[in-house]
Chains A and B, each alone.
Chain A
Amino acid sequence: MLLEWIYDLTHALLKPFKRILKPNSFAEKAMIAIEKVGKEVVFDCQMCGQCILHSTGMVCSMNCPKNLRNGPCGGVRLNGHCEVKPEQTCVWVKIYEGSLASPKYGGEMMWIQPPVNRKLQDSSSWVNLLHGIDQKMKTVWQTQDEKDALEPIFRGSNEKE
Chain B
Amino acid sequence: MKKNKSSMSQLEQVLKSGRFAITSELNPPDSADAEDVNRAAMILAGFCDGINAVDASGANCHMSSMSICALLTRVGYEPVYQISCRDRNRIAIQGDILGAAAMGIRNLLCITGDDVSAGDQPGAKPVFDFDSIQLLRTARMMRDERVFLSGRKITSELPLFLGAAANPFVPPYDWRSKRLAKKVAAGAQFIQTQYCFDVDRFKEYMRQVRDMGLHEQVYILVGVGPLRSYGAANFMRTKVPGIVIPDEIMDRLKKTPKERQQEEGKNICTEIIQQVREIEGIAGVHIMAYRQEELVAEIVRESGLLERKPKSQKAGI
Query: Which A residues form the contact surface with B (CB < 8 A)?
Result: 65-78, 80, 83-84, 90, 92-93, 96-97, 109-110, 112-116, 118, 137-142, 146, 150, 153-154, 158, 160
- Among A80, A90, A109, A115, max chain B CB count under 10 A is at A115
Residues on the A chain within 8 Å of B145, using CB = 139-140
In the complex, what distance in Å separates the CA atom of A67 from the CA atom of B182? 18
Interface centre among B112, B130, B133 (most CB of A within 10 A): B112
Among the listed stretches B25-33, B62-70, B172-180, which one makes contact with chain A, having 4 or more residues with CB under 8 Å of it? B172-180
> Hey, which chain A residues are within 8 Å of B212, CB to CB?
153, 158
B131 closest partner in A (C-beta) = A68
In the complex, A154→B212 CA distance in Å?
11
Given known contacts A70-B182, A71-B179, A83 and B115 CB-to-CB distance under 8 angstroms: yes
B100-135 CB contacts (< 8 Å) to partner A: 112, 114-115, 117-118, 126, 128-134
Complex contact B175–A96 (CB within 8 A): yes
Measured in the bound complex, the distance between the Cα atoms of B185 and A74 in whole Å is 18
Check A74/B115 contact, CB under 8 A, given A67-B131, A96-B175, A153-B178.
Answer: no
Evaluate contact between B213 and A76: CB separation under 8 angstroms.
Answer: no
Could you say which residues of chain B place their CB within 8 Å of the CB of A78?
170-171, 244
Q: Is the CB of A74 within 8 A of B170?
A: yes
What residues on B are CB-neighbors of A80 within 8 Å?
Answer: 171-172
Is the C-beta of B6 less than 8 angstroms from some C-beta in chain A? no
The smallest C-beta distance from A151 to any residue of chain B, in angstroms, reads 11
24 residue pairs bridging A and B, Cβ less than 8 Å apart: A66-B115, A70-B131, A71-B133, A72-B175, A73-B112, A73-B242, A74-B167, A74-B194, A74-B242, A75-B170, A76-B172, A78-B244, A83-B114, A96-B174, A96-B175, A109-B178, A112-B133, A112-B182, A115-B149, A138-B150, A138-B151, A139-B150, A153-B178, A153-B181
- Would you call A75 and B114 a contact (CB within 8 A)? yes
Interface check B199, CB cutoff 8 A: no
Q: Mark B214-247, 1 if CB is under 8 A from A, else 0.
A: 0000000000000000000000000001101000
The answer to whether A69 touches B172 (Cβ under 8 A) is: no
Say whether B147 contacts A139, CB under 8 Å.
yes
Q: CB distance B131 to A84 under 8 Å? A: no
Residues 157 to 202 of chain B near chain A (Cβ within 8 Å): 165-167, 170-172, 174-175, 178-179, 181-182, 185-186, 194
A-B contact count (CB 8 A): 118
Question: Is the Cβ of B185 less than 8 Å from the Cβ of A146?
Answer: yes
Residues of B within 8 A of A160 (CB): 213
Q: Out of A90, A142, A153, which one reaches B171, CB within 8 Å?
A: A90
Measured between alpha carbons, how far is A69 from B114 in the docked complex, in Å?
Answer: 16
B247 CB, min distance to chain A CBs, angstroms:
12
Are A72's CB and B242's CB within 8 A? no
Q: Is B182 a contact partner of A65 (Cβ separation < 8 A)? A: no
Q: Are A75 and B242 in contact (CB under 8 A)?
A: yes
Q: Is the CB of B175 within 8 A of A113?
A: no
CB of B211 closer than 8 Å to a CB of A? yes
Interchain CB contact under 8 A, A96 and B241: no
Q: When the two chains form their complex, are residues B171 and A65 in contact, meaning their CB atoms are under 8 A apart?
A: no
Task: Give Cα A150 to B186, complex, Å.
Answer: 11
In the assembled complex, the Cα of A126 lies from the Cα of B102 at a distance in Å of 43
Complex CA–CA separation, A68 to B112 (angstroms): 9
Residue of A nearest to B208 (CB): A156
Contacts of B147 in A (CB 8 A): 139
Q: Which residues of B from 5 to 64 have beta carbons under 8 Å from A? A: none
Is the Cβ of A96 less than 8 Å from the Cβ of B172? Answer: yes
A84–B181 touching, CB < 8 Å: no
Shortest beta-carbon distance from B153 to chain A in Å: 11
Count chain B CB atoms within 10 A of each CB in A80, A83, A146 and give the residue with the most: A83
Given contacts A83-B118, A113-B133, 14 further A-B contacts (CB under 8 A): A66-B115, A66-B126, A68-B128, A71-B179, A78-B244, A80-B171, A84-B117, A90-B171, A112-B182, A115-B149, A138-B150, A139-B147, A142-B137, A150-B181
- Does B90 lie at the interface of the complex (its beta carbon under 8 Å from any beta carbon of A)? yes
Considering only CB atoms, which chain A residue lies closest to B117 in the complex?
A: A84
Contact A67 B128 (CB under 8 A): yes
